């Protein structure tokens, strides 16, 4: 994009923006538990999963708990606790270790062609995602075969703050050695991605693949393939 606009780098969210889960997370977790020798009916396991999700939301609102590799174990312990399993910490630790290797992410069909076009335009590509660690983010992105497109991965659990906290976007700018006003962030969550990036002084675009934000007034695309043209039109 030489000579056009000021954008020199594109920051992208991962899940829901570039790729999607092949199976529901709770199904993968139940399969891991079976692999470890504990068979629980799927319906019963899903209920335990939902209870743990509600607990996490409450704790996050109350204490601001951060999702990282340590609290991942605590979350699994809480979920397994409702199933009355023995050795909760041991099983939870093993599940936290295995889920990044068992969960399956698949790139959306428009992801790689869009990334290729953005690279052709001379734009630097990075990922900013709310995940437990950079190690786990690297594993998940590698599953899609797209890791080589990105020069930087920023994971909330590693840096210590999550989207929509403006500090994670400013951290990405610093690590990329790129002025934040020369970056645009693209993600599928209005508050976390769109408003979070804007609060940091970064341009942002909401990708709304499912029409979830149909009435929301903001710069929006429904497919990642629309992004190169949108950026190319910037003055």
pLDDT tens digits along 144-185 = 999 999 999 999 999 999 999 999 999 999 999 999 999 999
Write down the pLDDT at residue 178: 95
Considering the chain, what percentage of its residues have pLDDT values greater than 70? 97
- Give the closest residue to 222 by CA, choosing from 210, 230, 232: 210
16: left (phi over 0), alpha (psi -120 to 50) or beta: left
Q: CB atoms < 10 A from the CB of 82, how many? A: 16
Tens of pLDDT, residue by residue over 79-128, are 999 898 888 999 999 999 999 999 999 999 999 999 999 999 999 999 99
The model carries a pTM of: 0.93
Pinpoint the alpha helices (H) of 103-219.
Answer: 111-120, 134-144, 156-159, 166-176, 196-199
Tens of pLDDT, residue by residue over 26-38, are 999 999 999 999 9
What is the residue-averaged pLDDT of the chain?
95
Q: CB atoms < 10 A from the CB of 218, how many? A: 13
């Amino acid at each position: 994009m030489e000579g056009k606009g000021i954008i020199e780098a594109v920051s992208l969210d991962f899940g829901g923006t570039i790729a999607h889960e092949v199976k529901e997370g709770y199904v993968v977790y139940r399969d891991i538990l079976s692999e470890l020798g504990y068979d629980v009916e799927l319906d019963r396991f899903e209920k335990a999963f939902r209870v743990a999700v509600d607990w996490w939301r409450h704790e996050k609102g109350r204490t601001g708990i951060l999702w990282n590799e340590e609290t991942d174990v605590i979350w699994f312990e809480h979920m397994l606790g409702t199933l009355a399993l023995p050795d909760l910490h041991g099983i939870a630790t093993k599940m936290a270790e295995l889920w990044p290797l068992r969960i399956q992410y698949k790139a959306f069909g428009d992801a790689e062609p869009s990334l290729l076009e953005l690279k052709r335009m001379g734009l630097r590509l990075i990922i900013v995602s709310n995940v437990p660690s950079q190690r786990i983010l690297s594993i998940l992105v590698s599953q899609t075969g797209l890791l080589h497109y990105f020069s930087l991965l920023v994971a909330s659990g590693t840096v210590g703050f999550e989207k929509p906290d403006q500090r994670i976007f400013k951290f990405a700018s610093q690590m990329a050695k790129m002025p934040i006003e020369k970056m645009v962030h693209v993600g599928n969550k209005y508050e976390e991605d769109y408003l979070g990036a804007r609060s940091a002084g970064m341009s942002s675009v909401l990708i709304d693949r499912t029409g979830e934000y149909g009435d929301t007034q903001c710069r929006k695309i429904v497919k990642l393939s629309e992004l190169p043209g949108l950026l190319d039109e910037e003055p």
